[in-house]
Structure 1
């Protein structure tokens, strides 16, 4: 039987296999694991780790990361059950909890005729993760619609931050380099648009992603950030690396900036394929591809 976080009914478990919590379906065990369902349970998780000097790792949808086969030290917090979505009185504003799937928020907005999230309907991450990494697609990104966010500081203080505070850049924010956790985000969309036009745009974006990306196999989404002059996928494809394998990890045939788990891949297989692609692109193009996927644990 699991223990519980002090003062809560949130189970605290040890040696939990993280493969089931990542879109790659790989990864070793978490030394300690919790999945809070309220902000109070999330705060209790942070307190538990701080009081014991344990490192803290946060998993949203697990869609933009690669967890080591060796597992993760300290406390791993899965925020995917922190789900709520509030439609505010002010037109076009919605507030979503960190664990709310971004695609769900995008469809909710589209069905109300609110424009601004059509690009997000095919993104598999959470709202919290989207804030941290400034998720984007189709030449739009989260920074373009974020009004404010609530974050939890390591000392337990809840802070209200604006886009300016977060120093957004291409697939990055200040939150990637500090220890604050996103609790919720408020988005400002364009209300009173033609509902059918917004829905049509959303469906078109989703269909495009399904036609051009390997949705049928486990992956993390785009592996590398796009360099300035050419897309990462184009650089990789020109080297004939589509279909290249290490173990059961493969550079996807459908999109060269995806590495897929063909069944039975290890995190080590995927990691070594990432490094192989980086080395090949640097040798041929003199361009260093920087991972968009976050590596967690020891490799």
Structure 2
């Protein structure tokens, strides 16, 4: 980024602009170089205002929530990072059609637990997922046979040229771990989402959450990771294929293909993004050679990995 562009950003955002920020502190894998600048936003209105100002300034930017499902290059990012911390949740209970409305920076697990406390069911499956509502809507997050596609009613979207509008779930054109936003890189920001729900008892909702969390602890590794590394191929399991290829527990530097679940790469404290990237390439090449299956990343790469 050129010096005059940074000057424009400083003039526009003042003390809200944080420069030369290590992305390792903002990603669940705890790796990544520095971003040229980061702007935190705490409400839906701040997020919208920030995006519109950056579009007006013709500044490239990305929206970052919890930092899961991404791998940031060790070389850093020459774009603005908008840190989405808008996390308000509103739960409608006193009607025949209860629903959950959450701002896009809200953590899915928080949404699930707050809903359960109100005796509202529908999001329990998402309780163990560390991502945000916005990231989940963007990537059609899912677990335990459920997905965002199956429970989303609509999303409030800020489009660069069309302003704010409500998009019904059909408009997001969901596919497995993908949406029209992820595939087509539409210049838009997810502001909030409304989820369908049903009334239940607090005890029943919490029982489901406890069961999902116990299952996650038994089957997925602790520690710093991106989450699931690869999408499951049709009718197959990426983790099973990587394990069958003999790579479970394989290490490069301080990164390891988890001995608990082979579709997770764990940072053993001190790993680099390049080491994780090399493990991913090794898994893809080995599985392709042995089984003729091309593993497609579920995570997104940010920055230069050449």
- Structure 2 CA distance for aligned equivalents of residues 195 and 45 of structure 1: 38
CA contact (8 A) 2:44 2:103 kept: no
After superposition, the Cα gap between the structure-2 partners of 1:156 and 1:15, relative to the gap in structure 1 and judged at 3 Å, is farther
Matched with 1:210 is 217
User: Aligned partners of 2:303, 2:278: CA distance in 1, in Å?
Assistant: 15
Q: Per the alignment, in what secondary structure is the counterpart of residue 190 of structure 2? A: strand
- Divergent runs of 4+, >6 A: none
List aligned pairs for 1:63-82, cutoff 5 A.
Answer: 63-79=68-84, 81-82=85-86
Checking the alignment, whether the CA contact within 8 Å between 2:48 and 2:191 is kept in structure 1 is no
Would you say 1:84 and 2:92 are equivalent positions? Answer: no
The 8 Å contact of residues 65 and 293 in structure 1, kept in 2 or not, is answered as yes
- Residue 21 of structure 1 is matched in structure 2 by 26
Runs of at least 5 residues in structure 1 that lack an aligned partner in the other structure: none
- Displacement after TM superposition at 1:4 (Å): 5.8
Tell me the residue number matched to 2:4: none
Deviations 1:214-260 (A, max 9, x none): 12x10011000000121000001112211101111100011000000
Q: Is 2:44–2:192's contact at 8 Å kept on the other side of the alignment?
A: no
| Partner of residue 190, structure 2 | 182
Is the contact made by 1:146 and 1:187 (CA closer than 8 Å) also made in structure 2?
Answer: yes
Using structure 1 for the length normalisation, give the TM-score.
0.94
Residue 58 of structure 2 corresponds to residue 53 of structure 1: yes
Partner of 1:199: 206
1:246 pairs, out of 252, 269, 281, with 252
- Partner of 1:148 in structure 2? 154
Quote the offset at 1:83 in angstroms: 1.1
Which has the larger helix fraction?
Answer: 2
Instruction: Compute the RMSD of aligned alpha carbons.
Output: 1.7
How many Å separate the matches in 2 of 1:156 and 1:32? Answer: 27
How many residue pairs match? The answer is 294
8 Å CA contact 1:10, 1:35 repeated in 2: no
Going from structure 1 to structure 2, the CA distance change for 1:10 and 1:187 (only over 3 Å counts) comes to farther
2:169 pairs with one of 163, 176, 185: 163
Cα distance in 2 for residues equivalent to 1:182 and 1:272 = 32
Query: Counterpart of 1:250 in 2: which secondary structure?
Result: strand
Aligned to 2:262: 256
Match of residue 103, structure 1, among 105, 109, 112: 109
1:272-283 aligned within 5 A: 272-283=278-289
1:37 corresponds to which residue?
42
CA deviation digits over 1:27-72, x for unaligned, max 9?
1111121011123322332233223322211111001100011111
1:162 CA drift (Å):
0.6
- Distance in 2, matches of 1:152 and 1:259, equals 34
TM-score (norm 2): 0.92
* Residues 100-139 of structure 1 mapped to structure 2, 5 A cutoff: 100-139=106-145
Farther-moved stretch of structure 1 (29-38 vs 121-130): 29-38
Q: Separation in 1 of the partners of 2:154 and 2:106?
A: 16
